């Protein structure tokens, strides 16, 4: 996927998401711990967002960073559903005991502390 970063388009996508979630600029500013002027600057393409803000926005609006940069509208939920579907397909021929074993391995991985 090749594209160049366009702060104007990025801002339009941010504004579209904010409005779709019935948020005011003040509410978004409060969420990001920035000023309303900063949110306005993001939406108008005058200010570039730092990575940590983009991550927060992705979590808040349930989209991937690809949405902001490339317009790809796969939500995190859709991506998760795809992984779950694939896992279900892989497990469909396994016994209940085997499924339990796989589940416990996955659970252990998620509970591991990262260094």
User: Tens of pLDDT along 12-43?
Assistant: 999 999 999 999 999 999 999 999 999 999 99
Residues 94-105 have a mean pLDDT of 87
Instruction: State residue 113's pLDDT score.
Output: 64
> pTM for the full model?
0.60
pLDDT at 3 over 80: no
> Which letter, b or e, does each residue of 28-62 get, where b requires 16 or more Cβ atoms within 10 Å of its Cβ?
bbeebebeeebbebbbeeebebeeebbeebbeebe
The CATH code of domain 7-70 reads 1.10.260.40
Domain limits of the chain? 7-70, 76-111
């Amino acid at each position: 996927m090749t594209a160049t970063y366009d702060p104007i388009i990025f801002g339009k996508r941010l504004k579209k998401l904010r409005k779709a979630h019935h948020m005011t600029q003040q509410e978004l500013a409060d969420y990001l711990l920035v000023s309303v002027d900063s949110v306005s600057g993001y939406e108008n393409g005058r200010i570039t967002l730092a990575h940590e803000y983009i991550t927060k926005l992705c979590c808040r609006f349930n989209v991937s960073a690809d949405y902001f940069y490339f317009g790809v509208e796969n939500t995190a939920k859709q991506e998760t559903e795809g992984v779950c579907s694939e896992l279900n397909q892989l497990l469909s021929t396994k016994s209940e005991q085997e499924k339990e074993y796989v589940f416990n391995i996955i659970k252990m991985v998620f509970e591991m502390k990262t260094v």
